[in-house]
Amino acid sequence: MDEMRKDTLIGFGIMIVIIAVGLFITEEKISFDKDIIVVPVSVHLVQDGTVQFSTSRTNEDIHRIFEEVNRIWGQAQIEFVVEDIGTIEVDNLEFSSAIFAQNISVITQRSDFDRGMINGYFARYISANGVAFSPQGVFIVADLTTVNDYRTTAHELGHLLGLHHIDGKENLMFRGSNGEVLSQWEVDVARNNAQ
């Protein structure tokens, strides 16, 4: 009798744990979905009349990239919404000074710069996978990247949300890898800054 009672109690305990976990997961999912933070992005496809900066990316490429970016940033319940995609003509020397001399005002003072949202620029070659200018809300991603282009974009957006490089190849903010993981601390910082 004691053996049967013990088995019944263990079975009952396991069932309670399963129900509790199920309720917790359901409750988490319901409340988590309500907490999505939407961040608008304006995308600029750079053309400078040379092969240095003129991107070969298309609107379809941008949509593919941001689909993957949002998959990665789904860990933080942050969604980047591309509000518009436009091709812009830039002067080669001016765009060079924006990237290499960090003279970012060359970009932010243009009439096609969208204030109040993140501005993303896609250019053929920038001597890095990507670069972010946090105070101005600007990132630039190269066509020619050593890691996945969407991961580079997600990484640069991380910088704009206040994240810095960290160790661990599996991490999104590790330099030069295809890592996609965000820590809870990074999620908290990014969500705070995204709002």
Q: Give the pLDDT of residue 8.
A: 45
Q: Based on the domain organization, do 184 and 98 belong to the same domain? A: yes
Q: What is the mean pLDDT of each run of 10 residues along the chain (195 residues)?
A: 49 40 36 76 97 97 98 98 97 94 93 96 96 96 96 98 96 95 97 94
Q: Based on the domain organization, do 127 and 172 belong to the same domain? A: yes
Q: Give the pLDDT of residue 195.
A: 87
Per the structure, the complete domain to which residue 14 belongs is given by 1-34
Q: Based on the domain organization, do 45 and 2 belong to the same domain? A: no
Tell me the residue type at 175.
R
Number of domains in the chain: 2
Q: Based on the domain organization, do 20 and 93 belong to the same domain? A: no
Q: Give the pLDDT of residue 4.
A: 47
Q: Give the pLDDT of residue 9.
A: 44
DSSP state for residue 134 in the 8-state scheme: G
Q: Based on the domain organization, do 6 and 94 belong to the same domain? A: no
DSSP state for residue 76 in the 8-state scheme: G
- For 125, the token pair is 């070659």
Residue in the structure block whose two tokens are 């053996």: 3
**What CATH number has the domain bearing residue 174?**
3.40.390.10
CB contact at 8 A, 49 and 114: no
Q: Based on the domain organization, do 169 and 104 belong to the same domain? A: yes
For residues 8 and 4, give the distance between their C-alpha atoms in angstroms, rounded to a whole number.
6
